[in-house]
C-alpha cells in the first residue's frame, strides 16, 4: 500500500470534523510545520474541510480551505490526497465517508474507535482490496502509541494478554472518589464541569468506550477479526465511596480495566471495574491518564502510560499516521492480511476463574453471615476474608465485605444472585473482580 503524491510535494488533507481534535490537528500542523515537514519529507497541509459551522473560532485560520457541508465530498475531491475522519460514531456520515474514500483509493486516517471496533474487519478488507491505507493510531489511548507498539513493536512476539486503563474519564472519577471520599454522582458532575466527561457520559462510564478500544487491541494482538460484540462490558456507576475505602484497607485500588487474554479455550475479553494490588504499576496510573499493558511470550510484560484523550494527544497520534503516509510507510490495517485473520473462539465470561470482592448491605442480626456463607459453600466459593463494618446508627443495615479465593465466575455469579434474594440483604450486591495485572 502507498500513500500518493511524489516525495517533496505537499500531502494534502481533507479533514472531516473540526471539533476538539480537528481544530487541535490544524493547530499542531501549523505550529510544528517545520518539524513535521522534516520528519515527513514533505509538507502536510489542510486543503479542504467538512464542518457544520464556518464561523466558529477554532484558534487557527482555515479561510484558504475549501469547505464542504457534506463530508462525502472529500472522498472525490481531486485536490485531497488523504481523508482525515474526525466525525465519530460507528455509523452514518463517518462510515459513509471512510468507505467512499477507500473506494476512491484515498488513504484514510481516523480517530474513530467505534467505527474501527464495529466495522474494522470489513474496512480492513476494503483497504486491502483497494491497496489503500487505513490508519487509526488515534483511535486507542490518544497520545500513547498503542497501535504501533502492538502492531509493529511487538510484531515478532506471540502476545498472551493485552489491555489496561483505556478510559481517562473513568480513571479520573475513580481517582477523585478514592482521594476525596465523595460518591460517584458528585465526582461525575465535577468531571463534566472540567470537561473530562461529556454531558451524556454513558459511553464512558458504562464501559463502552473502553470496550471499543479493547476490541481493536485484541484483534491486533491475537490476529483475529474484530469482534466487538464478544467483549463483556461493565461500567463504574455502581462503585461507591465505601468500595474505594474498603479496597484501600485491603491493599488494593479500583480501576476500570479492559483486559483480553488468549487461553487454550479461546480469547477472553472484558471491561469491568477491578481491584488491583496498590503496589502494581497500573494502580499508580491516576487522573485522566491511560495505560496500555501487553504481555508477550518473549518480551514479557510492558506498560506504556500517557494522556488518552484531548486535543493535543489525539491530534499528535493523527499526525504520526500522516507522517507515515507522507513517507510512504503505512502498515497493514491489522498487521496481517485479511486472509490470515483467524476466527478464534471467544471465551465467555462465565468461564473466567479468579478472586472476587463482594459488598453486601445486610440486616444486623444473628444468623445472617451463616446464611450467606452457606450459599457460597453450595456454589463452590471459598472465602479468603470477611469484614463487617459497624452500622451507621442503631437498627440500620451494616456493610459486609467478602473477599474470595480464586473461583469460577459462573459459580460466583450464581452465589451472588442467591444472596441478593435473601430477605436480610437490602441492596443490590456489588461484585468486583480482583486482578493481579
Measured CA to CA, the distance from residue 393 to residue 312 in angstroms comes to: 50
Measured CA to CA, the distance from residue 6 to residue 372 in angstroms comes to: 72
Measured in Å, how far apart are the chain's first and last C-alpha atoms? 37
Asked whether the beta carbons of 250 and 355 are under 8 A apart, the reply is: no
> How far, in Å, are 190, 291, 292 from residue 305 at the CA level?
24, 4, 6
76-92: pLDDT as tens digits:
999 999 999 999 999 99
Measured CA to CA, the distance from residue 213 to residue 4 in angstroms comes to: 29
The reported pLDDT for the residue numbered 2 is 45
Asked whether the beta carbons of 83 and 98 are under 8 A apart, the reply is: yes
Q: In terms of C-beta density within 10 A (0-12 exposed, 13-18 middle, 19 or more buried), how is residue 245 classed?
A: middle
Measured CA to CA, the distance from residue 215 to residue 226 in angstroms comes to: 6
Measured CA to CA, the distance from residue 238 to residue 252 in angstroms comes to: 18
> How far, in Å, are 139, 227, 308, 349 from residue 260 at the CA level?
18, 12, 19, 11
- Spell out, as residue ranges, where the chain has pLDDT lower than 70: 1-7, 390-395
94-142: pLDDT as tens digits:
999 999 999 999 999 999 999 999 999 999 999 999 999 999 999 998 8
Q: CA triplet 122, 200, 28: central angle to 5 degrees?
A: 65
Measured CA to CA, the distance from residue 42 to residue 11 in angstroms comes to: 7
What is the layout of strands, in order, in the sheet containing 134-135?
A: 66-68, 44-50, 11-16, 82-85, 108-110, 134-135
Whose CA is closest to 260, among 310, 224, 299, 312? 224
CA 30 to chain centre: 29
Measured CA to CA, the distance from residue 356 to residue 433 in angstroms comes to: 5
Q: Annotated catalytic sites, by residue?
A: 213
Measured CA to CA, the distance from residue 383 to residue 156 in angstroms comes to: 42
Q: State pTM to two decimals.
A: 0.92
Measured CA to CA, the distance from residue 352 to residue 341 in angstroms comes to: 25
The reported pLDDT for the residue numbered 437 is 82
The C-alpha cell that represents 417 in the structure block: 444472585
Amino acid at each position: 500500500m502507498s500513500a500518493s503524491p511524489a516525495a517533496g510535494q505537499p500531502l494534502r488533507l481533507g479533514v472531516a470534523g473540526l471539533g476538539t481534535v480537528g481544530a487541535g490537528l490544524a493547530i499542531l500542523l501549523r505550529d510544528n510545520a517545520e518539524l513535521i515537514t522534516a520528519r515527513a519529507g514533505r509538507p502536510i497541509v489542510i486543503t479542504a474541510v467538512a464542518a457544520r459551522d464556518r464561523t466558529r473560532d477554532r484558534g487557527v485560520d482555515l479561510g484558504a480551505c475549501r469547505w464542504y457541508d457534506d463530508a462525502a465530498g472529500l472522498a472525490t475531491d481531486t485536490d485531497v490526497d488523504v481523508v482525515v475522519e474526525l466525525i465519530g460514531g460507528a455509523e452514518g456520515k463517518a462510515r459513509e465517508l471512510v468507505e467512499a474514500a477507500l473506494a476512491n483509493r484515498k488513504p484514510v486516517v481516523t480517530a474513530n474507535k467505534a467505527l474501527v471496533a464495529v466495522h474494522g474487519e470489513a474496512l480492513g478488507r476494503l483497504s486491502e482490496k483497494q491497496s489503500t491505507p487505513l490508519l487509526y493510531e488515534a483511535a486507542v489511548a490518544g497520545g500513547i502509541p498503542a497501535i504501533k507498539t502492538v502492531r509493529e513493536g511487538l510484531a515478532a512476539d506471540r502476545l498472551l494478554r493485552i489491555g489496561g486503563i483505556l478510559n481517562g474519564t473513568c480513571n479520573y472519577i475513580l481517582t477523585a472518589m478514592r482521594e476525596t471520599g465523595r460518591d460517584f454522582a458528585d465526582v461525575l458532575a465535577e468531571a463534566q464541569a472540567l470537561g473530562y466527561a461529556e454531558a451524556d457520559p454513558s459511553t464512558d462510564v458504562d464501559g463502552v468506550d473502553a470496550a471499543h478500544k479493547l476490541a481493536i487491541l485484541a484483534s491486533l494482538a491475537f490476529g483475529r477479526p474484530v469482534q466487538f460484540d464478544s467483549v463483556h462490558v461493565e461500567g463504574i456507576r455502581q462503585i461507591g465511596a465505601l468500595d474505594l475505602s474498603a479496597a484501600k484497607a485491603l491493599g488494593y485500588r479500583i480501576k476500570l480495566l479492559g483486559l483480553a487474554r488468549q487461553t487454550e479455550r479461546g480469547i477472553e475479553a472484558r471491561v469491568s471495574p477491578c481491584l488491583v494490588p496498590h503496589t502494581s504499576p497500573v494502580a499508580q496510573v491516576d487522573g485522566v491518564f491511560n495505560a496500555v499493558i501487553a504481555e508477550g511470550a518473549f518480551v514479557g510484560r510492558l506498560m506504556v502510560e500517557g494522556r488518552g484523550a484531548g486535543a493535543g494527544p489525539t491530534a499528535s497520534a493523527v499526525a504520526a499516521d500522516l507522517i507515515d503516509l507522507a513517507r510512504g510507510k503505512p502498515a497493514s490495517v491489522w498487521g496481517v492480511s485479511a486472509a490470515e485473520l483467524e476466527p478464534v473462539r471467544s471465551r465467555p465470561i462465565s468461564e473466567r476463574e479468579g478472586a472476587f470482592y463482594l459488598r453486601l448491605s445486610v440486616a444486623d442480626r444473628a444468623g445472617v453471615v451463616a446464611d450467606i456463607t452457606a450459599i457460597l459453600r453450595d456454589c463452590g466459593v471459598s472465602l479468603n476474608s470477611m469484614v463487617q463494618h459497624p452500622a451507621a446508627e442503631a437498627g440500620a443495615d451494616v456493610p459486609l465485605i467478602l473477599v474470595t479465593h480464586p473461583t469460577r465466575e459462573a459459580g460466583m455469579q450464581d452465589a451472588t444472585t442467591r444472596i441478593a434474594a435473601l430477605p436480610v440483604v437490602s441492596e443490590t450486591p456489588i461484585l468486583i473482580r480482583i486482578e493481579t495485572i
